[in-house]
Structure 1
Amino acid sequence: MIRKRFNYLKRVYKAYLSKEDSQLTFWHGTPSVNQEAEPGKIGQYYMPFTAKAGYKAHLDDQGIPRLDYHGAIGLQYNPIAIAQYGLGNFNLYHRTGREEYRSKFILAADWLKDNLEENGFGVPVWMHHFDFEYQELLRSPWYSGLAQGQGISVLVRACLLTQSEAYLKAAEEAFAAFQLPASEGGVITQDQDANLWIEEYVVTPPSHILNGFIWALWGVYDYYLLRNQKPARELYEAGVKTITENLHRYDTGYWSLYDLSSSKMKMIASPFYHQLHIVQLKVMYTLTGEDVFLRFADRWASYQKRTANRWRAFLQKAIFKILYY
């Protein structure tokens, strides 16, 4: 156990504090709203992902990105990273018309189309083939509501761009995980108030990661725009309702929480994820017109302006990392 903990902290040190390339090189850009995305239309994605589109650190021989997690995990394909790489290149293609961006987008879309796997319940999902530390060890292979949502966001755009039914078929298969509870191989949980949650990580008890829920919900929204089917519309509306009625639970009074997990010490959002929350809430306001999203976005943005808040959040996050994961 001690050695395992040491190896984890060593890997985290290399990822967060050393100058070596790591998975964070890909994840931790500066979140922003894509002002060219239009609500009610499957066009450019809701965030630019420009830096991610230009990722070159660990491309395989087909041009698909891999991330370096260091330690025992090493280089891995991450379906979420591949989806975001694709969406960033899709945005650039629409802005510039340059074929190189279209080709990179199609590479990502093809990888997602070809790499759906059935989980133990027979549900098509994108698997992560490496162990990963969260509130419990996510043992390989594991799947994610976030991956399902962003993968669908790629596939529906590939379907419209190419008119290929193969992408539509893959999107339909991937959407099945949103129609099943986590206990039956899906990514949905329901709380005591009948709120429906999309889980980034399928763990017990559910952790309700905010950024993963919102990103996944955009995939449901995109699928609804493409298919105009009742199940997708109802799930999207239920997801919006859940977030609007629970945003206050993520508010500490000085910063936002990453999740609502059951750990004794609350998991504060890192500066990156706090900014991501703000951006996501601004997008949600654009998509829904619900004032609560803009209200919390403005409130959380105001928290960033106080040096005391930033230091308090940093110290709490550092202590959490040392004590938990």
Structure 2
Amino acid sequence: MNIIQMIKAYGGMVFGKTDYWHPDMNVNIELTAEQVRKYPVDMSAKAEYAGEFDAEEIPLVDVDGHLSYLPVTIAQYALGNYDQWIDTQQPHFRERFLRAANWLQKNLVEYKPGQWGWLNDHDKEMYHLKKPWLSALSQGQALSVLARAYQETHEDSYLETGKRALKAFSVPVAEGGFLALYRGLDYYEEYPSQTPSFVLNGFIFALWGLEEFYLLSQQDEAKERYLVGLATLKKVLPEYQVSYLNWSRYDLYPFKVADIASIFYHKLHIQQLKAMALLTGDDLFTQQAKLWEKGRQSFIRYWLATAYKVRHKLSIRNESSYVPSVKKG
């Protein structure tokens, strides 16, 4: 990938341009811990998919020149349509939501005896991750979809699908799941790389899926996995602080140049922490969100963080194994 290609691929994200893949996702200020309604952050922009569809109107993503199904894109499309359905009560949003939920129900696979998930069939060279692999992000957001589908239809099959998907949250990465350890604490990996990557936004999305699925299914396993992960999040959160910038890190992977969050992901982290504060009542999340908001509002820190992010992208560009190939949904 040359510099021009890199700018085209990452320029908008690094400099904060919003698009379908990277919209503003503000906290749902009506969020409570007792019910499942709109998603914790606003997903409505995901309702109008910017790419191609299959014959059943399920989103397809261009991966290495081939149109493919990405579970995370389909789950986010479903959640976006559900948010729009709640806001507008227009039936076509509900219909789109249920189509995507049904695809997730039909395409959960048993990749090992007793282990179920939505597989990603592409490499993620940035983390030296080879296909196929599960993702706590897509698994968690799929649980959020299935919980809402059950709430809308009262069809038990959605809960049965979700129950199967819970197992992966307790399966170590080495055994095909996405459970890693951070200083002995359980961490659900968006990218289950051999060297843990600890991607913050994906971990938080996974936690929401567990808690929302518990609220609709009353599955103790979902609640236990949520509480264990929540305890980890509280412990690990300070590690994402770039102190001299009041900025966040995207992950904790040991790159030569640390992977500081782009402005898009930094803003997303702030909104996710605001949502966690509403869900838990824990001031830890409020205070961290305020600190990162100070960094976002500082013109100097914003440009220093952006320059650091560009430096990171250039550094991994020079690693021979790094070949970015997939737009993240």
- Show the counterpart of 1:52: 46
- Show the counterpart of 2:157: 166
Match of 1:216 among 198, 206, 219: 206
- Count residues with an aligned counterpart: 310
- Show the counterpart of 2:239: 249
1:153 and 2:147 matched = no
* Structure-1 separation of matches of 2:37 and 2:147: 10
- Show the counterpart of 1:184: 175
Percent identical across equivalent pairs? 39
1:66 counterpart SS class: strand
Which ranges of structure 1 fall in alignment gaps of 5 or more residues?
1-5, 19-23
1:224 maps to amino acid: Y
- Show the counterpart of 1:33: 27
Deviation for aligned residue 1:102: 0.5
* Structure-2 separation of matches of 1:191 and 1:91: 33
* Structure-1 separation of matches of 2:122 and 2:81: 26
1:63 and 2:63 matched = no
Which ranges of structure 2 fall in alignment gaps of 5 or more residues?
13-17, 317-321, 323-329
* Structure-2 separation of matches of 1:102 and 1:239: 31
1:245 counterpart SS class: helix
Farther-moved stretch of structure 1 (247-256 vs 88-97): 88-97
Contact 2:124/2:130, CA 8 A, preserved across alignment: yes
* Structure-2 separation of matches of 1:10 and 1:127: 32
* Aligned CA distance change for structure 1 residues 185 and 219 (closer, same or farther; 3 Å): same
- Show the counterpart of 1:102: 94
* Structure-2 separation of matches of 1:204 and 1:56: 33
Deviation for aligned residue 1:149: 0.3
2:180 maps to amino acid: T
1:202 and 2:192 matched = yes
2:149 counterpart SS class: helix
Pairwise CA RMSD of aligned residues? 1.9
TM-score between both structures, scaled by the size of structure 2: 0.88
1:68 maps to amino acid: D
- Show the counterpart of 1:21: none
Contact 2:127/2:191, CA 8 A, preserved across alignment: no
1:196 counterpart SS class: strand
* Aligned CA distance change for structure 1 residues 120 and 231 (closer, same or farther; 3 Å): closer
Deviation for aligned residue 1:157: 0.8
Contact 1:26/1:67, CA 8 A, preserved across alignment: no
* Aligned CA distance change for structure 1 residues 169 and 275 (closer, same or farther; 3 Å): same
Contact 1:73/1:131, CA 8 A, preserved across alignment: no
1:102 maps to amino acid: R
- Show the counterpart of 2:307: 315
Farther-moved stretch of structure 1 (296-305 vs 310-319): 310-319
* Structure-2 separation of matches of 1:145 and 1:117: 15
TM-score between both structures, scaled by the size of structure 1: 0.89
- Show the counterpart of 1:281: 273
* Structure-1 separation of matches of 2:266 and 2:78: 24
* Structure-2 separation of matches of 1:234 and 1:132: 30
1:269 counterpart SS class: coil
Deviations 1:149-174 (A, max 9, x none): 00010011101211112211111111
Contact 2:187/2:198, CA 8 A, preserved across alignment: yes
* Aligned CA distance change for structure 1 residues 225 and 56 (closer, same or farther; 3 Å): same
* Structure-2 separation of matches of 1:314 and 1:73: 29
Deviation for aligned residue 1:11: 5.4
2:36 maps to amino acid: I
